Amino acid sequence: LWCKQHDERNDINKKDSIMKYSYLGKTGMKVPVLSFGASSLGGVFRSVSEAEAIRAVFTAIEHGMTFIDVSPYYGHTKAETVLGGALTELPRESFLLSTKVGRYGANGVNLWDYSAQRTRESVFESMERLHVDYIDLINVHDIEFADLSQVINETLPTLVELREKGLVGHVGITDLQLENLKWVIDRVPEGTVESVLNFCHYSLNDDRLADFLDYFEAKGIGVINASPFSMGLLSQRGVPEWHPAPAALVEACRKASDYCLSQGYPIEKLAIQFSVSNPRIGTTLFSSANPDNVLKNIQYIEEPIDWDLVAKVKEIIGDQQRVTWKNT
């Protein structure tokens, strides 16, 4: 049960909270400007303590990060399982939950299946792992790996059917490639896709998502931004070995990070402040299995951003601005 200690802490933080909220497109979902991405709970980036990961979820919810995004792909079901353990101790009305279909994994091998049958099975499997009987938002995950015609004719109609039955609240699609999101939306009935999730395209080194906001708004589609640190590019730690960014971009971001450090302003702070600064973007996802890190980043967005430093960082990154990479 949601213990008395958590109730007391939640009451205090509700009084002190200055988290900003907006509505995600026409879904009616009221989402915080900064939301909790649960990929880290699956040990996607490094090994995690399950107990610490659950505390990270509690910390996020207590401080207003009431929208949680996960996927069966993260940690090959581990993220959903760990998150489900935390959600059993939270009142269902205290959070909005998003998960995905289409991208999976088992025994260390990545798998993709966008068929109607697997899509339907996946939704119920996720509900079981998450200990819920209703998912607020269900996304087709990384559609660039799919036959887009199958997404249009099979995956999305299956999710719409589940939406009509009341098992899921809303339907969305996710991808690194913005053009794919638009291509699908242009070819399905209006209202089929209610939100999009795009990552690494509204950050200090790449703000290309801004070019598509007029289109999404015209369609009434909510926008979820993810990876404000560009998967580690915008961090003092630097990128992991598997990062797909080209070497010139990695080096440019390293120089930008060093400059921020010399100014006593961690690049992580500037990066997350920038990513949440656009009011046309419903929410930005940030992931950590460390409760202290969750709290630190919430505190970052409560402080005013240094726009002069943003300009300097963009100058340092220079011709590597908007340089992207292929999804992996």
The residues that are catalytic are 74
Phi-psi region of 18 (alpha: psi -120 to 50; beta: other; left: phi over 0): alpha
Q: How far is the C-alpha of 117 from the C-alpha of 155, rounded, in Å?
A: 9
Which residues are CB-contacts of 248 (< 8 A; sequence separation ≥ 6)?
320, 323
Which residues are CB-contacts of 294 (< 8 A; sequence separation ≥ 6)?
36, 56, 59, 60, 63, 65, 286, 288
Q: How far is the C-alpha of 99 from the C-alpha of 82, rounded, in Å?
A: 14
Paired tokens of 27: 């879904």
Q: How far is the C-alpha of 230 from the C-alpha of 43, rounded, in Å?
A: 18
How far from the centroid of its chain's Cα atoms is residue 87's Cα?
18
Instruction: Give the CA dihedral 73, 77, 79, 80, nearest 10 degrees.
Output: 110
Q: How far is the C-alpha of 267 from the C-alpha of 161, rounded, in Å?
A: 44
Half-sphere exposure of 293 (CA within 13 A, CB side): 14
